Amino acid sequence: MPAMHRLRKIRAVVSPRILKRALILPILLLTAFVFIGFFHSHPQYWHQLQHVPLSTLVLVFGLNVILLSILAGIYRTCIHLCAKQIGGQENFLLTAYSSIINFFGPLQSGPGVRAAYLKTKLHIRLRDYTFVTLLYYALFAIMNILFLCIGSRPWWQTLLAILLTSGACLWVLRRFTGGNTQALQALNLKPRLLIVLATLTFLQIAVQCLSFYVELHTINAGISLRQAITYTGAADLALFVSLTPGAIGFRESFLVFSHSLHHISTANILSANLIDRAVYVVFLVAVFVVAASTHASTLLRLKKLRQQAE
């Protein structure tokens, strides 16, 4: 019995969640070391970054605004698929706060925050929302495989990759439900909503691709849109295995390892990612200010209405 008790303690200490948390800081430090070391050894790229046009930064910031709007639409559609409704302002605040937490919080925790909020506020079952989220992730994975392959591989390899990814996604969804279709009866899986979710997911990846293209083209005017499409697929797929805020380190690694597909140099990858992350952090700060002021004004209005009612 004491041996079993010690074994449970060891398992608790080395649980996957604790191991993931323990890996975050070393990965962030290693990534920072790689960035600093690279730009120290290649100062010409740092000087190039210092002359990035303001118009590029403004354009990337604007594309992030569009991306947040699309993301809000995706989350609202996911709620509709759970047969519930949410107000526009409430959905914006939930999207804003979960995006901030997803970047700065541990282990990409944004989806968990949304699920907990929706369970408390709209009484959406965690199982239902998790299934719908997995459905969105499946569409996200399939479309990014399309982006990864369409610009670099023959059509038959692209089709095969999409079919294999689709099969894997269907297997995951089936495993989640246990093959029991009755578990989905509470959901509102209308074809119209599924088409809306698929369309918004494609728009999300397309706008992200445009943002990457602007950053890459600023660094190296010789980089084509075709290369940026493949680059986007690799960058987005890194999100599925990332532990760090904004997939820092993981995205760069995926992009470097997929060089044979997009043929973009490590120097251009690191420079473009520096622009992307710097603008995104500023964007999230701006989102937090707007969300906080909106939330504060909402609370003030509610307080006044309550006082009037009394």
Nearest Cα to 60, choosing from 288, 294, 293, 281? 281
Per-residue pLDDT tens over the stretch 73-117: 999 999 999 999 988 888 888 888 888 877 766 555 677 778 888
Q: What is the pLDDT of residue 151?
A: 78
> CA 281: distance to chain centroid?
14
Q: What is the pLDDT of residue 120?
A: 84
Determine whether 44 is exposed, middle or buried from the number of CB atoms within 10 Å of its CB (0-12, 13-18, 19+). Answer: exposed
Per-residue pLDDT tens over the stretch 257-271: 888 889 999 889 988
Q: What is the pLDDT of residue 285?
A: 83
| Residue 135 pLDDT class (50, 70, 90 cuts) | very high
The answer to whether 255 and 234 are in contact (CB under 8 A) is yes
Neighbours of 41 (CB within 10 A): 8
Q: What is the pLDDT of residue 47?
A: 55
pLDDT exceeds 50 at position 133: yes
Measured CA to CA, the distance from residue 5 to residue 239 in angstroms comes to: 37
| Residue 203 pLDDT class (50, 70, 90 cuts) | very high
pTM score over 0.95: no
Query: Would you say the C-alpha torsion 234, 236, 240, 246 has a positive or negative sign?
Result: positive
Distances 44 to 40, 143, 213, 215 between C-alpha atoms, Å: 9, 36, 21, 17
Q: What is the 3-state secondary structure (H, E, C) of 19-81?
A: HHHHHHHHHHHHHHHHHHHHHHHCHHHHHHHCCCCHHHHHHHHHHHHHHHHHHHHHHHHHHHH
Over residues 187-204, mean pLDDT: 95
The answer to whether 245 and 27 are in contact (CB under 8 A) is no
Per-residue pLDDT tens over the stretch 226-276: 999 999 999 998 887 765 555 666 788 888 888 888 999 988 998 898 888
Return the structure tokens found at 237: 């797929």
